[in-house]
A and B are shown apart, each in its own frame.
Chain A
Amino acid sequence: MFSKEYFKYLFRSKKYLLLLIALITLMNVIGNQSDGIMLLIQVFFTMVLSFAMPMDVFYHVHNRKAVDTYFSIPVSRKALMVTGCVFSALVTFFPAACAIIRNTLGDRDISTLLLLAETLLDCASVTVFNSVLYLIGNNIIDGVVMMGAYTFMPLAIIGILNSFVYSYIAGLRSIEFFEARLLSPLYMGFYLLDSSWNGNIDYLSLIGLIVVLILFSYLLYRSYVKRAAERADSQSTQFLSYPFVINFYLISCLFLIASFYNYNYGNLGIFVKDYFFLYVLLFAVFVAAYFLYRRKFYFNYRLPLFYVIVMLISLLCAGVCMKYDGFGLSGCYEKAKGKDYCTISAWVDYHNGIYEYVKEETGEDPQYVQIFIEVGGDDASFHPAMSEKTSDLIEEIRKKAIDYFYDDRDDLSDIGVLYISGKDSRKYYQYDLNEGLDLQTIVEFAKDPAVTVMIGTYNKEYQLMTDGSLRVSQVYEQ
């Protein structure tokens, strides 16, 4: 399984590269560690190595001449694979290990050995993961393209999900139910090391990295040991290479554009007019991606057909999502009833009577007015509990905001935040709370002894006009 001879050969043949790595590591270790830049350089350097080493060690499978040599020498492919991975992982680990030792020696709060073990696991997982990505292609360029494409895939997934959630699910700014870090060993590595540095162990990332190591070791076995040598330097036609990557990014981009449809417009005609150029540009990129894939100009009626079909599906999905209140997800929220603490913070408009009240009370003519309602407190023993009426009021405001989000409207602004905190959870919701927050409602809130209402007034330059704000008592006393 492991070839000592091949390891020695790798070590000897890459002595200049290793020397350079040692030199950079040395500079980093003796550098000023209090300077954050040195740490940043270290992280960046380790990341670069985790990509560069698999490319260097598995270069031969993408070179027609080299593959003849490597696959004909009397060393099993398994041994070449294992030895190459061990070598890559160790080279990637070395600078990181030096930095960890340098930074943690003498610090009793942090276990150096634990951090080293975690870093080694991280380096091994990322090396195996990146090796698999590099081997998806059939030549060096495609190998690099695949590494980049698959590395950014989690970001694309998160971006699109967040954009859709933000545009179509009232109240939510981003996905909360999704552990995005599990999509990439790089992110898991960062989480794991960051948590250990702060004295905790992120078990989810730890298990995730172990799973990646095992799963991708098997995939590497499939893509290296079972690899057809004739793939070297040929077009990457395998499903997981360009066909999947191009379609994935196309679908992602079209759904990303579709996510703008609802939030900004809700009117298909205006939307298509405004985004027409973007659609054309995306199609041009789509054709260019096929050029990169085929290494020649390729145009087939299936390309525009597929493009239009996906575009229509994405818009249809957006429309359905809008019609059915974000597939019902806008109604799945944490209710205020029974919670210890709740705040509502919102900028309000002229229409709800608050501006007039402020003018009367202060004699000022504010440009902007902000309402801050605080119910209860984090420590329940010091604060009166929220009344049922108050919690009903909160839900009423929220319901109006959700209805407003999904009704026809000209404009929508994220000008209100609802924060609900209980024993087990803390949730933020972002709504346009204008519809529900009028003077009468604020007065109702203020009747509850558990509630504090503050009204901030601001001039054109967003400078606070009154010293602090009007207190709730002033409102209630009216």
Chain B
Amino acid sequence: MLKINNVYKGFAEKRVLNDLSLEISESSIFGLVGVNGAGKSTLLRCIAGIYRCDAGNVEFNGEDTYLNEQIRKDIFFVNDDPYFPLAANIKSLKEFYASYYPIDEEAYYKALKMFDLDENKQISSFSKGMKRQTLLLFALAIRPKLLLLDEAFDGLDPIVRYHLKRSLYEFIEDNDAIVIISSHNLKELEDICDSYGILEKGRISTYGDLLESKANINKYQLAFKGKIDESFFDQFDLLHQSKEGSVYTLVIKGDRDEIVKKLNELQPLILDTLAVNFEELFIYEHEGGRQDVL
């Protein structure tokens, strides 16, 4: 269990994380989303024990992760811009990681084959995607209990992405581990995450089960014969409203059947209910948040 307890973190004048609390259970892949500069990488670094929280703490399996080398044996962090020592190759990097983490040889060679990387080639000659694969290779070989992936899918080709997703599923099933993935590519996350959190203004503004959330937010398209009183929509938890000609598009949070029943009271000519994808969910939640602010 990962528990983030009222974490505050700021740099100079800027507060990035502001009383952030979150709990993530084992055997889950958590998608951390947020706009640029929302603090996703900062949060991951706080979880990894790299950054000290200004207040609050991060506990993994009941232990504070900051300056705790014992608990860090179970945590592996893949940052968005990986570092490799000068003249290192995968073999030498394996020696480095093997000094601190138990490496599953079978998983290592399996991942090496999957990513099709040359163990003896200098990493400095690798492309950006290959460098990322190198670190992911060790993430899969080390098999940590908590895997933190910062923009992990960036720069990966579709085939590698597909294989990586499958490997992560297997990894979760075998290890009862937690994987936290931060990404801008929500379509990628949608396929793989079972839960998510939206980081906004230093806090997790929305989080939960992805399927449930998606089921709870729907897009409704309606057309009416004449004019209607739009204030009727105020009774809903409306995330988005637009009108093109006589067709209204509404994104409403709540039980679909109940909402449809109420909308039918307006006797629309057409009433279609559409599921939203993760990207839309993020956009509408984010817009909703901004509207709240405004």
Residue contact B79 to A6, C-beta cutoff 8 Å: no
Chain A 50-63, CB within 8 Å of chain B: the 1/0 string?
Answer: 00000000001001
Residue contact A9 to B79, C-beta cutoff 8 Å: no
Total number of B residues with any Cβ neighbor in A under 8 Å? 28
Chain A 1-22, CB within 8 Å of chain B: the 1/0 string?
Answer: 0000110110011000000000
Residue contact A63 to B83, C-beta cutoff 8 Å: yes
Residues of A within 8 A of B76 (CB): 72
Residue contact A12 to B69, C-beta cutoff 8 Å: no
What is the chain A residue whose CB lies nearest that of B73? A74
Stretch from B93-101, B172-180, B209-217 at the A interface: B93-101
Residues of A within 8 A of B11 (CB): 230
What is the chain A residue whose CB lies nearest that of B83? A65
CA distance A74 to B99 in the complex (A): 10
Interface centre among A8, A9, A63 (most CB of B within 10 A): A9
CA distance A442 to B76 in the complex (A): 88
Residue contact B81 to A12, C-beta cutoff 8 Å: no
CA distance A247 to B100 in the complex (A): 44
Between A and B, 7 residue pairs with Cβ closer than 8 Å are A68-B77, A71-B50, A74-B69, A74-B70, A228-B52, A229-B51, A230-B51
Give, as a whole number of angstroms, the nearest-CB distance from B63 to chain A: 12
B92: Cβ under 8 A from any A Cβ: yes
A478: Cβ under 8 A from any B Cβ: no
A251: Cβ under 8 A from any B Cβ: no
Residues of B within 8 A of A13 (CB): 85, 88, 92, 96
A39: Cβ under 8 A from any B Cβ: no
B219: Cβ under 8 A from any A Cβ: no
Give, as a whole number of angstroms, the nearest-CB distance from A224 to chain B: 12
* Contact residues, B69-112 vs A (CB, 8 A): 69-70, 72-73, 75-77, 79, 81-83, 85, 88, 92, 95-97, 99-101
Total number of A residues with any Cβ neighbor in B under 8 Å? 26
B49: Cβ under 8 A from any A Cβ: yes
B55: Cβ under 8 A from any A Cβ: no
Residue contact B50 to A229, C-beta cutoff 8 Å: yes
Residue contact A75 to B52, C-beta cutoff 8 Å: no
A198: Cβ under 8 A from any B Cβ: no
State the main secondary structure of chain A at its contact with B. helix
Residue contact B85 to A72, C-beta cutoff 8 Å: no
Residues of B within 8 A of A69 (CB): 82-83
Residue contact B83 to A74, C-beta cutoff 8 Å: no
B17: Cβ under 8 A from any A Cβ: no
Chain B 178-220, CB within 8 Å of chain A: the 1/0 string?
Answer: 0000000000000000000000000000000000000000000
Residues of B within 8 A of A76 (CB): 67, 69
What is the chain B residue whose CB lies nearest that of A70? B83
Give, as a whole number of angstroms, the nearest-CB distance from B202 to chain A: 16
Chain A 172-197, CB within 8 Å of chain B: the 1/0 string?
Answer: 00000000000000000000000000
A82: Cβ under 8 A from any B Cβ: no
Rank and list the top 9 A-B pairs by shortest CB-CB distance, nearest first: A65-B83, A5-B99, A74-B72, A74-B73, A66-B83, A74-B69, A68-B79, A76-B69, A71-B50
Residue contact B83 to A6, C-beta cutoff 8 Å: no
* Contact residues, B9-56 vs A (CB, 8 A): 11, 45, 48-52
Residue contact B72 to A68, C-beta cutoff 8 Å: no
Residue contact A12 to B95, C-beta cutoff 8 Å: yes
What is the chain A residue whose CB lies nearest that of B10? A230
Residues of A within 8 A of B52 (CB): 228-229
CA distance A243 to B38 in the complex (A): 32
A65 contact from B49, B79, B100, Cβ within 8 A: B79
B67 contact from A66, A77, A230, Cβ within 8 A: A77
A67: Cβ under 8 A from any B Cβ: yes
A37: Cβ under 8 A from any B Cβ: no
Residues of A within 8 A of B70 (CB): 74
